[in-house]
């Protein structure tokens, strides 16, 4: 007789100690940090009420969210500083920079107020939108302010007249640029699927920021210019003149370069043809060479500090073997990095899917959380690379996965490569699984391979000789009932205690009398004719079956998983197809790719449709704004120019084509047309004043090169923290910033060269 508990069918270790886990899920619309804070408050009270128990948090999103939010505001600060420096370089004016700095908080306050009104909450995506909005704000503010300042220098001392004429002259071009950018982004709101879920808050934030930015650029900027531009203290003027001589010289050289380049192409057909041949070659190399080289993926990986270890042991071993393995694994995880928390689960409890996901005692799931990447020298992938050989040496491990926590873009995706096999036959599935697993082990770019089950769990079927059992007066149910009591025990009563729940009393054989098949065969069962050994009328026959059974539809399924670190999923799948080529699966087996590649194809199709629809909307919007199909075509031609810079930037920074990269191209499409609008609209105005088309465009290059380059570089500087992934979790959106920066810088230079050429070549000599 002893006081104990029933045999465990699962287990949990919190921070290395044997524990009981309580998984707390927030409501669908509940605030994460608010929920965690309320739980922590309750936990503090529980600790006081139960001082003899240890309560610890072994897994939480709080630290990542708090750190990420702090990093995002630091990234915003850096973006403002870098953008301000760029604006000062081009303007060489403390007064104009002061106007920029004064409008930034106004636009952000207005944007945040509008977000609150429409119900957009703060998170990594919307905060990224706020950082990106800085570039859009500068685009509007700088163009209006620079035009006012140019009129003020040209017109003398009448600041009011300069403000009115400068604002009026640029208002149409500013409005056109804002409208085209908003129209480029709008399709994402309705594209559906994964892209809409991820990017709708980002686009919503940008649309609100664009609205606020345009209104403030044509209201607050002129009003501030009335006061600030007239500040003419001697020391300010001397400093501005000093910087202006430096930046003015640089700008004169740039203007001269584009003017000479355009004039050369107009004078020489050979030069013009050479320009366009070089452009075509660059475009073809970028599309057909660079983009396939960089590869494709659904979402970039990110270093959150979490490592997920999935282990499958021999299913025929007791739970004590899994407990020993957890102890060894936890020791290795603790010794190989600055660990914060450790959550380890063996199997799962019936009906509890948040811990263990319905697996048996042969499945171990461990989540190790290390300090964030700013507080350690190694990346999470370097830590994982060191852990794999150490963990692989542990005895009784059949399969091992060591991957970064959150390695897949969606919670429903089990691994980057997920090959789903289905068949009505277990044997055929086992054969097909072996073939696929062998191919995945040979596939480049994968770091872990696993499968949902092996057909290696030994079971024993009780075969009863019905005639002999009947001779002893036994039925199948009688035999099964007695064996159940022998193997699992039987509840025979309860033990009452005062002020406590009664304890159950379970009777069963000692473990040493039921731990082998031979002992069971000789076990005596009660019959109407006395105690008879089980072997007299029944026997055990061993068989093999999977440790877990999965089904889809009417067929059994087997999933084989491959996990990656940073390799492009397109490259991985291409190599897998190459390795798997010629392999023949059993006829009853069907194979389907269910990992990243399936979601990428769906999401890429939606994003491609959004890009195409955005370009069409921009085209028709430009027709309405300029009342000219020819002008609309010229402006839209600036969009393909951005592909060159975007693709090469991805190659240089080792980014892949992903959903954020496609989102960056959509944003870029709306921004880059602003440059063409500024050039063409100004040239049209000069033609209306009597200049011929060549003179008008060369004048446009001379006047508009500074604001065009200034907005391009200022926007790029503002997006630099995004492109560099300067916050925890921002790595996921880094390709967005990279595509926008590379495409905008290269596209702007190409726009300043080729759009003037196309305009002069196709425009009639009379004014539009």
| Nearest alpha carbon to residue 625 among 171, 208, 212 | 171
**Measured on CA atoms in the order 26, 725, 342, 308, is the torsion positive or negative?**
positive
Residue-level pLDDT at 134:
84
pLDDT digits (tens, 9 = 90+) for 96-126: 888 888 888 888 899 999 999 988 888 888 8
Read off the pLDDT of each residue in 675-684 and give the average, rounded to a whole number. 88
Question: pLDDT (tens digit, 9 = 90+) per residue, 262-312?
Answer: 999 988 889 999 999 999 999 999 999 999 999 999 888 888 888 999 999
What backbone torsions phi and psi does residue 197 show, to the nearest 5 degrees? -60, -45
Domain ranges of the chain: 1-59+304-405, 92-299+600-762, 458-545
pLDDT at 165 > cutoff 90: no
Confidence bin at 79 (pLDDT 50/70/90): confident
- The DSSP symbol for 501 reads P
Cβ–Cβ under 8 Å, residues 733 and 71: no
DSSP reduced 3-state for 2: coil
pLDDT digits (tens, 9 = 90+) for 45-74: 999 999 999 999 888 888 888 888 888 888
Residue 652 has pLDDT above 90, yes or no: yes
Residue 428 has pLDDT above 50, yes or no: yes
Dist CA 527 CA 555 (whole Å): 43
pLDDT per position as a tens digit, 687-722: 888 888 899 999 999 888 888 888 888 888 888 888
pLDDT per residue over 468-482, tens digit each?
A: 999 988 899 989 988
**211, 676 Cβ separation under 8 angstroms:** no
Q: Round to whole Å and give the CA distance between 120 and 116.
A: 6
pLDDT in tens, 207-221: 999 999 899 988 888
**CA trace torsion 557, 563, 568, 572 (10° rounding):** -60
pTM: predicted TM-score of the whole model, two decimal places? 0.84
Tell me the percentage of the chain whose pLDDT exceeds 90. 33
CB atoms < 10 A from the CB of 708, how many?
23
Domain 1-59+304-405 has CATH 3.40.50.300: no
**374 pLDDT more than 90:** no
Rg of the chain over all Cα atoms, to the nearest angstrom: 35
Say if residue 356's pLDDT is above 60.
Answer: no
Overall average pLDDT of the 225-232 stretch: 81
Q: What architecture is the 92-299+600-762 domain classified under in CATH?
A: Up-down Bundle (1.20)
Q: How confident is the model at residue 505 (pLDDT cuts 50, 70, 90)?
A: confident
The string of pLDDT tens digits covering residues 533-560 is 988 989 989 888 888 888 888 899 999 9
Of residues 343 and 2, the one with the higher pLDDT is 343
For the segment 360-388, the average pLDDT, to the nearest whole number, is 90
CA distance 420 to 590: 8
Q: Residue 155: what pLDDT?
A: 67
Q: Give the model's pLDDT for residue 406.
A: 67
Looking at the predicted structure, is the pLDDT value of residue 502 above 70?
Answer: yes
pLDDT at 768 over 60: no
Q: What is the mean pLDDT of residues 508-521?
A: 81
CB within 8 Å of 199: residues ≥ 6 apart: 125, 188, 659, 663
Q: What is the mean pLDDT of residues 317-325?
A: 90
Fold adopted by 458-545: 3.30.2090
Residue 514, token pair as written in the block: 């039921």
The β-bridge partners of 343 are 14, 367
* pLDDT 10s digits, 724-767: 888 887 888 899 999 999 999 999 999 999 999 999 988 887 64
Report the C-alpha gap between 752 and 759 in whole angstroms: 11
pLDDT > 70 in the chain, percent: 98
431: number of Cβ within 10 Å: 17
pLDDT in tens, 85-101: 888 888 888 888 888 88
Asked if 201 and 120 count as a contact pair (C-beta separation under 8 A), the reply is yes
């Amino acid at each position: 007789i002893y006081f104990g508990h029933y045999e465990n069918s699962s287990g949990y270790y919190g921070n290395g100690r044997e524990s009981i886990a309580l998984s707390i899920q927030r409501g669908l619309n509940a605030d994460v940090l608010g929920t965690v804070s309320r739980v922590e408050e309750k936990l503090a009270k529980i600790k006081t009420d139960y001082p003899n128990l240890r309560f610890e948090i072994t897994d939480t999103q709080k630290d990542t969210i708090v750190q990420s939010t702090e990093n995002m505001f630091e990234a915003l600060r850096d973006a403002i500083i870098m953008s301000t420096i760029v604006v000062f370089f081009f303007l060489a004016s403390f007064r104009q920079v002061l106007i920029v700095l004064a409008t930034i908080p106004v636009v952000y306050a207005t944007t945040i107020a509008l977000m609150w009104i429409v119900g957009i909450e703060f998170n990594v995506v919307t905060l990224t939108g706020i950082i990106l909005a800085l570039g859009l704000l500068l685009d509007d503010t700088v163009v209006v302010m620079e035009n006012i300042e140019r009129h003020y220098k040209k017109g003398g001392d009448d600041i009011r007249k300069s403000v009115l004429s400068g604002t009026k002259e640029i208002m149409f071009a500013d409005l056109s640029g804002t409208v085209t950018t908003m129209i480029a982004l709008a399709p994402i709101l309705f594209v559906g699927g994964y892209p809409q879920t991820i990017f709708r808050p980002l686009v919503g934030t940008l649309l609100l920021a664009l609205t606020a930015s345009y209104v403030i650029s044509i209201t607050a900027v002129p009003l501030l210019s009335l006061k600030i531009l007239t500040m003419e203290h001697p020391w300010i003027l001397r400093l501005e003149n000093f910087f202006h001589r430096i930046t003015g010289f640089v700008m004169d050289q740039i203007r001269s370069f584009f003017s000479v380049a355009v004039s050369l192409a107009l004078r020489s057909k050979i030069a013009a043809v050479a320009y366009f041949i070089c452009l075509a070659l660059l475009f073809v190399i970028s599309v057909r060479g660079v983009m396939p080289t960089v590869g494709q993926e659904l979402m970039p990986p990110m270093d959150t500090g979490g490592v997920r270890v999935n282990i499958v042991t021999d299913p025929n071993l007791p739970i004590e073997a899994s407990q020993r393995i957890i102890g060894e694994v936890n020791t290795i995880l603790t010794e190989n990095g600055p660990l914060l928390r450790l959550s380890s689960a063996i199997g799962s409890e019936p009906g509890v899917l948040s811990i263990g996901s319905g697996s048996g005692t042969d499945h171990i799931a461990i989540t190790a959380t290390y300090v964030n990447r700013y507080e350690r020298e190694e990346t999470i992938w370097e830590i994982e690379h060191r852990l794999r050989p150490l963990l692989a040496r542990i005895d009784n491990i059949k399969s091992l996965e060591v991957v970064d926590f959150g390695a897949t873009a969606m919670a429903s995706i089990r691994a980057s490569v997920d090959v789903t096999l289905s068949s009505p036959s277990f044997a055929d599935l086992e054969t097909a699984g072996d073939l696929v697993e062998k191919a995945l082990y040979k596939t480049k770019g994968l770091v872990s391979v696993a499968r949902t089950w092996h057909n290696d769990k030994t079971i024993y079927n009780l075969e009863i000789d019905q005639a002999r059992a009947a001779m002893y007066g036994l039925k199948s149910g009688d035999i099964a009932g007695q064996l159940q009591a022998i193997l699992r025990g039987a509840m025979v009563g309860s033990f009452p205690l005062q002020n406590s729940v009664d304890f159950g009393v379970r009777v069963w054989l000692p473990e040493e009398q039921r731990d082998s098949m031979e002992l069971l065969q000789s076990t005596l069962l009660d019959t109407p004719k006395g105690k008879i050994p089980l072997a007299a009328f029944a026997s055990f026959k061993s068989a093999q079956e999977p440790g877990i059974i999965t089904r889809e539809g009417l067929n059994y399924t087997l999933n084989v998983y491959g996990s990656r670190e940073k390799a492009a999923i397109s490259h991985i799948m291409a190599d897998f197809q190459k390795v798997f080529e010629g392999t023949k699966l059993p006829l009853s087996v069907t194979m389907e790719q269910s990992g990243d590649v399936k979601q990428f194809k769906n999401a890429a199709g939606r994003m491609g449709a959004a890009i195409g629809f955005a370009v069409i909307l921009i085209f028709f919007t430009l027709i309405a704004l300029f009342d000219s199909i020819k002008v609309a075509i010229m402006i839209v031609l600036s969009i393909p120019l951005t592909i060159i810079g975007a693709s090469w930037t991805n190659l240089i920074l080792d980014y892949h084509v992903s959903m954020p990269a496609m989102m960056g191209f959509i944003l870029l499409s709306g921004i880059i047309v602003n440059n063409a609008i500024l050039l063409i609209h100004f040239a049209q105005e000069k033609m209306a004043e009597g200049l011929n088309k060549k003179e008008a465009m060369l004048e446009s290059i001379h006047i508009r090169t500074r604001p065009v380059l200034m907005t391009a570089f200022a926007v790029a500087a503002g997006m630099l923290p995004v492109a560099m992934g300067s916050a925890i979790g921002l790595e996921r959106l880094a390709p967005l910033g990279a595509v926008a920066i590379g495409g905008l810088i290269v596209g702007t230079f190409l726009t300043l060269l080729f759009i003037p050429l196309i305009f002069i070549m196709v425009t009639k000599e009379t004014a539009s």
